[in-house]
Amino acid sequence: MQVSVREVDEAVFREFKSAAAREGTTVGKLITLAMKQFVDHKPQKSFFQLKPIPWGKGTEKSSSEIDEVLY
């Protein structure tokens, strides 16, 4: 498939094209790889979106107990 892309930074594109040549591949193949990685990327949750993991019965106060030992 042929695609035209607008508003690409010229210096970055030249560097990208040189990197493709050094790797012995084409710009198209590297762009395909970059797009695939971008599409497959699973964004990490922020710290505030993490949910606590239950450690089992009897461990409800573990955090406080650990704090007492450490601090």
State which residues form the domain around 58.
10-70
Q: Are 20 and 27 in contact (CB under 8 A)?
A: yes
| Percentage above 90 pLDDT, the chain | 52
**Location of structure tokens 């198209």:** 28
Q: What is the pTM of this model?
A: 0.54
Give the count of domains, the chain.
Answer: 1
Q: Report if residue 1 sits inside a domain.
A: no
The average confidence (pLDDT) of the chain is 90
Q: Which two tokens stand for residue 34?
A: 């970059």
Q: Which two tokens stand for residue 30?
A: 């590297």
Considering only the C-alpha atoms of the chain, give the largest distance between any 2 of them, rounded to a whole number of Å: 64
Q: Report if residue 4 sits inside a domain.
A: no
pLDDT tens across 9-39, in order? 999 999 999 999 999 999 999 999 999 999 9
Please give the Cα distance from 7 to 42 (Å, whole number): 26
Q: Report if residue 21 sits inside a domain.
A: yes
Q: Report if residue 59 sits inside a domain.
A: yes
Q: Report if residue 5 sits inside a domain.
A: no
Question: Rounded to 10 degrees, what is the CA torsion of 30, 34, 39, 41?
Answer: 140
